[in-house]
Chain A
């Protein structure tokens, strides 16, 4: 059974710091990896996708993928209170149906 594991947190970081969110997946067939952000009471929103080993940067966000270790991470630089949310890691194979982790709660305090 495909599984995506995340530490539920909460991860608490001060404003301006780097937040590091981690995720592992069990299915070696997985080819596509995603990070969704979900604010409390809202629906998930895609913020990053990554398909190849290495880093992918988009503004303050960097996604990192290591397929050999089956590990995905999301770094948020210069964290802001508005980044406080639950971050969902997801992995998918050829069916385009992602398996989601349970999410990591991030709290950025001023």
Chain B
């Protein structure tokens, strides 16, 4: 099986712009979670989608949003980018049949200038 695929791998944006990141989970996995990773804060949970519905949400402002499509692929959008949004954004999929193991993608490194 192919792993979790995230695109793009790198992004450079300027303040005020918006960005959309994409994630394709492992085939058969319906749960997709998004995390922000920074050296200072570590891995911070953004949100989780399951069967096209947001099931859990972390403590991030409304500028961070996401969605999931019927094929389980997910997108994350950040609007009105701020310098502090510079981070590695990781997507993880999970087999929802009771297993808690997260399979992470390679991430999207976002730099906001």
Contact = CB atoms under 8 A, between A and B. Distances in A.
B33 A42 contact: no
B94 A49 contact: no
Interface centre among B48, B90, B100, B101 (most CB of A within 10 A): B100
A97 B41 contact: no
Interface residues of B, number: 18
B56 A95 contact: yes
A46 interface: yes
Interface string A23-59: 0000000001010100000111110010000000000
Interface of B: 31, 33, 35, 41-43, 45, 48, 56, 90, 94, 100-102, 104-107
30 contacts: A32-B100, A36-B102, A42-B106, A43-B104, A43-B105, A43-B106, A44-B90, A45-B104, A46-B101, A46-B102, A49-B100, A49-B101, A88-B43, A92-B100, A95-B56, A96-B31, A96-B94, A96-B100, A97-B33, A97-B45, A97-B56, A98-B45, A98-B100, A98-B102, A99-B45, A100-B42, A100-B43, A101-B42, A102-B41, A103-B42
